[in-house]
């Protein structure tokens, strides 16, 4: 997490000091129902949101979303990010690799049917 913050700050400090629109979607999942819950993702998401706001980002923070709501947040962000100079998606939670594809797990993910994600 610290390395990510450092890289983010370095990236932003090298950006041109012009009026640009920066948008960020932060998804933080720790209240998993069918797989092992996690302790820190929501706290990490809140910390990242605060850091990005200080850097001039418009931040949308989504916490503990099921698959339907996570997809809606991503779709809405895709529309909101059009025309932005910088668009960033940050995810904190479980992820899995299936047949070479990386997947972000919503809180209603079922380990027995991950292919449905």
The pLDDT of residue 98 is: 86
> What whole-number distance in Å separates Cα of residue 91 and Cα of residue 34?
19
Q: pLDDT by residue (tens digit) across 7-18?
A: 666 666 555 545
C-alpha separations of 108 from 17, 39, 59, 79, 87 in Å:
42, 16, 24, 25, 27
Question: What is the reported pLDDT for 86?
Answer: 97
Question: Percent of the chain beyond pLDDT 70?
Answer: 80
| pLDDT higher than threshold 90 for residue 113 | no
The pLDDT confidence band at residue 110, using thresholds 50, 70 and 90, is: confident
What is the Cα–Cα distance from 2 to 22, expressed in whole angstroms?
Answer: 21
Domains of the chain with CATH codes: 19-104 (3.40.50.1460)
Dist. CA 34–CA 12, nearest whole Å = 38
């Amino acid at each position: 997490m610290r390395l990510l913050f450092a890289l983010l700050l370095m990236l932003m400090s090298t950006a041109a000091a012009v009026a640009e629109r920066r948008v960020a979607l932060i998804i933080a999942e720790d209240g998993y129902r069918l797989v092992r819950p996690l302790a820190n993702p929501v706290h990490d998401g809140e910390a990242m949101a605060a850091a990005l706001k200080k850097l001039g980002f418009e931040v949308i923070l989504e916490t503990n979303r099921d698959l339907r709501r996570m997809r809606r947040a991503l779709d809405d962000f895709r529309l909101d990010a059009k025309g932005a100079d910088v668009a960033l998606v940050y995810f904190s939670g479980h992820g899995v690799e299936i047949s070479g594809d990386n997947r972000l797990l919503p809180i209603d993910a079922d380990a027995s049917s991950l292919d449905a994600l």
